[in-house]
Amino acid sequence: MKERLIITSGKKYIDIDAYAGIFAYKKLLQSLGYDAYAYNVAPENESVCPMIKDMHFRFDEIAILPTDQFIVLDVSNPDFFSEGVLMENVVEIIDHHTGFEDYWRQKQANSQIEFIGSICTIIYERYTELHKEALLDTNLCKLLIAGILDNTLNLKNSITTDRDIKAYQDLKRIGNIEDDFRNEYFESCYQNVDSCLKEMIANDIKIEFVSNLLPEVFGQLIVLDANIVLNQLKIVNSAFDTYSERMLNVMSLNDGKSYLIFHSDIVKEKLETLFEKKQKTIIWF
């Protein structure tokens, strides 16, 4: 029996970058004759907003088989792979979070792990390399554009590359998509942030060692206007419960800046060492 290719991502939550990448890569692989499936058991975060859900992309309801092969997008640390992934059957990793390149090289899995704004950019480039742009209908273009815009903070974040910008522009042209789409997408994502702030932060908290200069407990939140969060710091504090050495990275779309919020002198010293103040606004409370 032909092995199935299961395309998936992380286990705690799935954001629009991974969500869009999974569905786009599934379509590309199926066009090449592979038996490919979109698989996910993690909750979707706010970036997979009502506008996106109305496009009716659906994960496949399948039971994992011992012979299944896995492609993992937007995560390369195996500790954070989706539930159900069989480590010995991972055949490909596509990620823009660096650090596990050598690990996967030793595992002899195909891997593309590189510094770039969005996984969706890489997936779009796979389409162009294979001359499969004709497969990209309007909704699939919108899906990939949303992933690029969300992960690059509206193309304003320092992680944005020329490749991300080109992919965004190409997808707009291919899908015949107007500039207004970006505003519609962001408004759909973040219009209710102020009413469910604590829940959104709690859902995104990670506990992971990344660097001696970063706390092991950290969260990330994208908002249209950082003041939505900065005016509710008590709620931010309560969302982290008992963790003292922690950090929240609030990414503000209106001004393209990140605001680092923490509650510890130790974290303050680490962050001031790690980041230049002109790049980040450091808030201690």
Asked if residue 8 lies in contact with residue 39, where contact means CB atoms within 8 angstroms, the answer is: yes
* 223-260 per-position pLDDT tens digit: 888 888 888 888 888 888 777 788 888 888 777 778 88
* 16-41 per-position pLDDT tens digit: 999 999 999 999 999 999 999 999 99
CA gap 136, 24 in Å, rounded: 8
Whole-number pLDDT of residue 21: 98
* 36-93 per-position pLDDT tens digit: 999 999 999 889 999 999 999 999 999 999 999 999 999 999 999 999 999 999 999 9
**φ, ψ dihedrals at 53, nearest 5°:** -65, -30
Higher pLDDT, 5 or 216: 5
Nearest by Cα to 28 from 44, 47, 7, 14: 7
Whole-number pLDDT of residue 1: 47
* 127-175 per-position pLDDT tens digit: 999 999 999 999 999 999 999 999 898 898 888 999 999 999 999 999 9
Angle at 124 between CA 119 and CA 125, to 5 degrees: 100
CA gap 75, 72 in Å, rounded: 7
Distances in whole angstroms, Cα of residue 243 to Cα of each of 100, 164, 173, 201 = 27, 35, 46, 13
Nearest by Cα to 123 from 35, 9, 256: 9
Q: Is the pLDDT of residue 281 over 80?
A: no
Whole-number pLDDT of residue 110: 94
Higher pLDDT, 3 or 278: 3
Backbone Cα Rg of the chain: 19
* 183-214 per-position pLDDT tens digit: 899 888 877 777 788 888 877 787 877 777 78
Whole-number pLDDT of residue 251: 81
Q: Which domains does the chain have, with CATH numbers?
A: 5-188 (3.90.1640.10), 194-284 (no CATH)
Length of the chain: 285
Going by pLDDT thresholds of 50, 70 and 90, the confidence category of residue 276 is low
Whole-number pLDDT of residue 26: 98
